[in-house]
Structure 1
Amino acid sequence: MAPDCEVEGSVAAPVSIDGLRGKLTPQAPLAKLVWFKTGGCADWMFEPEDLDDLRLFLERLGGDLPVMALGLGSNMIIRDGGVPGVVIKLGKPFANVSIDGEVVSCGGGAHGILVASAARDEGVAGLEFMRGIPGTVGGFVRMNGGAYGREVSDVLIDCDVILPGGELVTLPATDLEYTYRHSVLPEGAVVVSARFQGHQGDPEEIGAEMDRIAEARENSQPLRTKTGGSTFKNPPGKKAWELVDAAGCRGLTMGGAQVSEKHTNFLINTGDATSADIEGLGEEVRRRVYEHSGVELEWEIQRVGRP
C-alpha cells in the first residue's frame, strides 16, 4: 500500500537545473521501485544522464540535503512517510560491465546476475556468488553483499564514489573496513563503479555453479512474492532463520505482512501491507527471538525514511 505522491502546484527545485540533462522529479513515488512495493515518496528523485551529470548535480547540491542512492530496492524498507532529501536512481548509463584479463569493471547500476554472467562468458571465475545477490553493484559494495559462502570484500579491488559535495574519489577495498554486511562508506556517497578480481576458469563450470546457486535460491526462498530478501543478519555461529523458527514465528502476521512459511528469515507483503506493518512485524520477531533464545537479532534490511 503506497501513499499518494501527487504534487500540488509548482515546487522549487533544490538546485539550478540549467545544464542538467537528467530527470529531476518532486514527490517521486518509491513503492514501485522496491521489492516490498510499499513506502512513501522521495522529496526529490534525480536520474542522471551520465557520470558528469551526476557530479554536476551533487556539486550544486553541495551537501545541503540528504542523499540516498537506490538500486533495485531488494533489501530495503521505504517507510510510509517517505524519504527526505534526494534519492539518486542510477539507470542504464551506469549498468555497463567490461572485462580486462581477470578484472571485471562494473557500473554502480549493474545487476549482480549481469556481472556474474559477463564474467562467465569470458571465463572469469570467482564472481559466481553474485548470481545469488538480488541487487546492483552500488548496493552490495556499500553493504558487503554476499551469498553462498562469499561476499564482496573477497573480490573487490576498489570503487569509484561521488561524495555528497560532488567530488569523485577512488577508494581501495581496504578503506571500506568491511565487516559482515557493513562498510564505512560515507553517508550520502554514491558508488558509480567498481572493479572486482576474478581468476581464470572454465565457462561451463562457472555456468554450472551459477545454475546451482539459482536452483538453491528457487528451492529455499520465496522469490515469487513481494519480499525484501534476508531480513536479519546471521548472529555469530547461528542462523537467523533457525532462531526465528524456534521462537514460533513461522507464518506470523501483522496487518498485511507475514513471516514467510518457506524461509523464516524473509518477510512478505501479502498484498496490502504498509511499510509500518512490515517493520512492526520484524520488531515483533526480534522481541520473540530474544525472549526465546536471548539472542538480539540485527536488521540486515535497510529501513529508511520517515515513519
Structure 2
Amino acid sequence: MTDLSDPLPQVRGRLTPNRPLSDLTWLRVGGPADWLFQPADREDLADFLRDLDPSVPVFPMGVGSNLIVRDGGVRGVVIRLGRGFNGIEIGDDGSVRAGAAALDSHVARKAAQAGRDLTFLRTIPGAIGGAVRMNAGCYGAYVADVLREVSVIHRDGRTEVLPAKALELGYRSSSLPEGAVIVEAVFDAGPGEAAALDARMDEQIAKRDASQPTKDRTAGSTFRNPAGFSSTGRADDSHELKAWKVIDEAGLRGARLGGAVMNEKHPNFLTNAGEATAAELEALGEKVRKRVYEHSGLTLEWEIMRVGQPSA
C-alpha cells in the first residue's frame, strides 16, 4: 500500500484516503483506493499530476460501468472526474464537445436535440472518457467514426489536444499516451431531424431492454466478440461471431460461482447475483474463457477492465 503519511499535493477538489470503491462500480465489488482524487477542474488536475511523486501510480476511473476492482483495492491514486468535466456543447459547425465525465446517454440526447446524430451512444453505459479509451460502439457505429480530437492532461501536467488518428482506435482499444487523462472529446456528428433521432434512440432502448439484463448488477459485455477468419485464413474484424453465442454453445448460460453468474437472459453479462466478491466474478470469467476454448478453440478476450490487487 502507498505510504499514506507521504504528503500529496494540495488540491481544491476532494482527496480521500482509503476510499472504498465498491459503491462506485456497477458490479458493487472491490476494495479501497489508497487515495481517491476528485479534481475541481482542469487546472486542479494538472497541478496535482505535475506535483505528484512520479513513483505513485495513477488510475483514471470513470463511472465504473465496465470495471472490476479486485478485492484488495487499488494502490496509488484513483482519479474520478465529475462536475467541472461533464459539460456538453454543440458548435456552430455541428460539432459536439463533451467533457470526459459526461454520460454517453446524455451526450446522445443533447446532440439529438440539436439535430446532430450520436444516437449510437444512447445505449452505451458509461462516460465519454471511457467511450473514447475503449472506442465504444454498437449498431455498427464506433467512436472512431465520429471522433475529431481529444484533450488530455499528461502526468507532467501538460495539456495536449490529440487528433483522433493519434489514438490508433481499434476494436475496443486505443493507444493513449502512458499516464494521460482524457478530459474532453470533440465529435463530428452528422445531421439529423431531432424527432427522428429521438425515435431511433427509443427503438434502441427497447431493443436493448428486450435482450439485455439492464436491471441486474452487471458491467456490460464481459468479453469482446471474437474475430473470425476469412477463407484466406486472415483475421476477420467484422465480428459476426458473437461472444454470447459461443458461451451459450459451451453450455455456460447461467453458470455460477458463489454469487457470480453468467446471466440467464444474456450469457455474455457477468452478474453479481447477490454478495459476489470480485474474486468470484473474475474466476467465473476465467472459467468461461477456459471452457469456451475447450469447446470451440476460440479465446475470449476480456472487455471488462480488471484493476487492483487480490485480497491478502
In 1, Cα distance between the equivalents of 2:210 and 2:7? Answer: 46
The aligned counterpart of 1:12 is 5
Distance 1:288 1:159 in 2: 39
Q: Distance in 1 between matches of 2:277 and 2:171?
A: 29
**Amino acid aligned to 1:296:** T
Aligned residue in 2 for 1:292: 295
* Letter paired with 1:116: A
Correspondences of 1:51-130 after superposition (within 5 Å) = 51-100=42-91, 101-125=93-117, 127-130=118-121
> Which secondary structure does the structure 2 equivalent of 1:241 belong to?
helix
- CA deviation vs aligned residue, 1:213-250 (integer Å, no higher than 9, x gap): 11111111111111110000001241000000000000
Match among 289, 297, 304 for residue 301 of structure 1: 304
Of 21, 40, 53, 2:31 maps to: 40
Q: Does 1:173 align with 2:176?
A: no
Specify the SS of the correspondent of 1:285: helix
C-alpha deviations, 1:23-76, integer Å up to 9, x for none? Answer: 001111100000000001111110001110010111111532111111110001
- Which 5+ residue runs of structure 1 have no aligned equivalent? 1-9
Choose 140-149 or 275-284, whichever is displaced more.
Answer: 140-149
Residue 259 (1) aligns with residue 262 (2): yes
Which residue identity lines up with residue 133 of structure 2 in the other structure?
R
Q: Note if contact 1:233-1:300 (Cα within 8 Å) is conserved in structure 2.
A: yes
Letter in 2 for 1:94: F
For the residue of structure 2 that corresponds to 1:77, the secondary structure is: strand
- Quick check: 1:247 aligned with 2:239? no
Residue deviations 1:137-171 (CA, integer Å, cap 9, x gap)? 11111111112211111110000001122111111
TM-score (norm 1): 0.94
Do the aligned residues in 1 keep the contact of 2:4 with 2:34 (CA within 8 Å)? no
Residue of structure 1 equivalent to 2:210: 219
Verify: 1:186 aligned to 2:186, yes or no.
no
In structure 1, distance between residues paired with 2:154 and 2:19: 23
Aligned partners of 1:89, 1:14: CA distance in 2, in Å?
Answer: 20
Asked if residue 269 in structure 1 is aligned to residue 272 in structure 2, the reply is yes
Instruction: Quote how far apart the aligned CAs of 1:292 are.
Output: 0.4
Q: In structure 2, give the amino acid aligned to 1:147.
A: C
CA distance in 1, matches of 2:247, 2:111: 36
Amino acid aligned to 1:283 = E
Q: 1:203 & 1:13 partners in 2: Cα distance?
A: 53
CA contact (8 A) 2:107 2:121 kept: yes
User: Would the aligned equivalents of 1:31 and 1:38 in 2 still touch at CA under 8 Å?
Assistant: yes
**What's the C-alpha RMSD, in Å, of the aligned pairs?**
1.2
- Give the Cα separation in 2 of the matches to 1:14 and 1:163: 21
Q: Tell me the TM-score normalised to structure 2 length.
A: 0.92
Q: State the match for 1:5 in structure 2.
A: none
Alignment match of 2:122 (pick from 123, 131, 154): 131
- Pick from 215, 222, 225 the counterpart of residue 231 of structure 1: 222
The 8 Å contact of residues 260 and 268 in structure 1, kept in 2 or not, is answered as yes
Q: 5 Å matches for 1:202-217?
A: 202-217=193-208
Which piece of structure 1 moves more, 230-239 or 287-296?
Answer: 230-239
SS at match of 1:32: helix
The aligned runs of 1:154-173 (5 Å cut-off) are 154-173=145-164
State the SS of the aligned residue for 1:54: helix
2:124–2:136: 8 Å Cα contact kept in structure 1?
yes
Structure 2 gaps of 5+ residues are: 228-239
Structure 1 counterpart of 2:138, one-letter code? A
Per-residue deviation at 1:103? 0.2
Partner of 2:75, secondary structure, is strand
Moved over 6 A (4+): none
Q: CA deviation at 1:13?
A: 5.0
Q: Could you tell me how far 1:187 is from its partner in structure 2?
A: 3.5
The percentage of counterpart residues that share the same residue type is 50
Q: Distance in 2 between matches of 1:105 and 1:244?
A: 38
How many residues are aligned here? 295
In the other structure, the counterpart of 2:189 is 198
SS in 1 for 2:28: coil
Native 8 Å contact 1:62 1:166 kept in 2: no
Distance of 2:89 and 2:265 partners within structure 1: 37
Task: Provide Cα deviations, 1:234-290, integer angstroms capped at 9, x if missing partner.
Answer: 012410000000000000000110000000110100110000000000000001100
